[in-house]
Structure 1
Amino acid sequence: MTKTIAEQIQGHIEKAYEIKKQTVKLAAEVRDEVGSTIMDIVKDPLLSPEGRKVKQAEIMGGYERDLYTEIARIKGEYLAEAKAVRDLANKTLLEPNAKPTDTTKVAFFEKEYERLKVDAMLGLNAEKSMKAIAEFVSKYDHPYFAERLQSEFSTLAGAVLANGNDAETRQKLSKMLEAIEVKATSPAKESAKYGLKYFENAEGVRLFPEYSHEFKAIESVMTSKYIKHINEPEVYFEAEAETQESAQ
């Protein structure tokens, strides 16, 4: 059975949430593994205090890269879900609303809409024309009809303003257009807008907020020197690439 737009978008959002939860397991693994390794070094009777520092620095570099590799993977998977939602949402928003299956109602709409446009063009009273438009809008509340009105509202508004281009009239027309836009937003398009809003700042997602248990767990075994880019793994790898390039 084909899933609705809302179901598809919600599915991606739920998957993104599960992807972010991978940080819980990663933080625990880093804390346990790095902590255990450091403890072994500290307890090694063959190492001097200076030797322990050197040994810790050696192994920490490897753990650092492994950590950023995993974070980059998690963030990449999260951004893939964000892209999927954005692609689907933008496509949905660009597609016209489906025409109602009631062909009789569609025919009545077309006939009455043409009459409304003519009356607005020939009308001599702005207030009377706006009242007629408002009544027409309230009569046809299907997203398809509202979208038709939205796409051609400039024509109706222009006819009204020709008979009363004052601040009050413009304000009333603006509110009328807002009401039409709300009606033109189908459930699918509403879900699309929600999806875009949800992933609005996806590229800047902070997988390890400084106040989180996961951040503190990693910080307890890896100093700030090694985790300063924990929420920006791409910065770590860019710096690594620059270092390797300058060394050549």
Structure 2
Amino acid sequence: MKKLCILFVLAFFAFFSMGVTASHAAGSQFIIINKSNNQLAYYENSQLKSVFKVATGRKASYTPEGKFKIVNKIVNRPYYKGKIPGGDPRNPLGNRWLGLNPRGTWGTTYAIHGNNNPSSIGKYISNGCIRMYDNEVEWLFNRVKIGTPVIITTSGKSFDSIAAANGMKTTPSKAVPVTGVSSEVLMKGSRGNAVKELQRLLTSQGYNTKGIDGFFGSNTDFAVRQFQKAHNLKVDGVVGPATKRALGMR
């Protein structure tokens, strides 16, 4: 009997410790989504780290408001409704899914996710999910943990004020600009995630780059020139601000 009591006490303290650790880990970062300006703020160690443009529900009621949690993380989630596999350029869910738990759901209905229509970012257009640029949701996905709190609201207050109203501690930090169109110019020979985004956009709009590999080769150059010609842009194969805006690329 004495041994059973000791085991029970040890198990209790082990469970209590696990709970404290998990709570502390989740509390070190949180996300605020403000539907009044369609912006998402990411906090880490009580400091505002980044602010992103997002898209939310086309009706105010579609994107639920309240305090939720990230309950799952999925790379290249299939679009089951349209029978489109994960990783397909046609997939409207993009390449990363951060599932949320509003309205009794568990990460299968609502999420912060990428998309294959970058021109929708900043608009009220979704069925309830929060859309981000693919490369920006990748950045967020790589940082946030399961259990991270997500506050969704419609407010005219600052992110710090919204955080305080929801019991989140913040420390003063410098203003963080909202991400916008990148100044990086892409051309033949360029490599990286920005080229992958370019290739996804071109492919989704019917300009075949013959692969999404992150390398700006002859096929991507040809697709860019076709796109530029169709949109009355300078046909030079160089993806600068004008071509990016026409593509809806950040």
Report the TM-score when normalising by structure 1: 0.21
Q: Please say which structure displays the higher CA radius of gyration.
A: 1
> Which is bigger in relative contact order (C-alpha 8 A, separation at least 6)?
1
Bigger share in helix: 1
Normalized per residue, which structure has more strand?
Answer: 2
Tell me the TM-score normalized by structure 2.
0.21
